[in-house]
Every structure is written in C-alpha cells, then in structure tokens.
Amino acid sequence: MNTFLWIVVVLVALILGLIGGFFMARKYMEKYLKDNPPINKDQLRAMMLQMGQKPSTKKLNQMMNSMKAHAK
C-alpha cells in the first residue's frame, strides 16, 4: 500500500511541476518579448545607416522577409 501511495504522490508532483513550469516559462517569454521586442523596419533602417548603406524600401522589405523566413 505504501508503494502505491508513493507512486501517486510522485505522479501528482510531476504533473503539478509540468503545469507550473509551463506557465512560468510562458510568463518569462512574454516579459522577455515585452522588454526586447523583435526587430522592426525602423531599427533595420538605423542599422543599415550606421553601416554606411543607403536603405531603400525594396531592400528593407527583402531583409525583413529574409529574417521572417529564417525565424521559422
């Protein structure tokens, strides 16, 4: 009987740990994305200007599409 009780306690603890870990990880990622948003066209334009390149709309769109495709 003690073995059965031990197995139940371990399974309940495992399930609670998985659920708690999922929600904690989700909250952490939401906070991270809020503090560090993904790059946008304005940031990309500023980076290109700092590198000495003249950013055209076509080139910005190509780079954004490339970054989106690479992220998948």
pLDDT tens-digit readout, 4-21: 999 999 999 999 999 999
Residue 47 domain boundaries: 39-71
Q: How far is CA 68 from the centre of its chain?
A: 13
The structure's pTM equals: 0.57
Q: State whether 30 and 53 are in the same domain.
A: no
pLDDT digits (tens, 9 = 90+) for 24-67: 999 999 999 888 878 888 888 998 999 998 888 898 899 888 88
Question: How many domains does one find in the chain?
Answer: 2
Q: State whether 43 and 32 are in the same domain.
A: no
**Dist. CA 46–CA 42, nearest whole Å:** 6
Six token digits for residue 44:
């990309």
Q: State whether 55 and 31 are in the same domain.
A: no
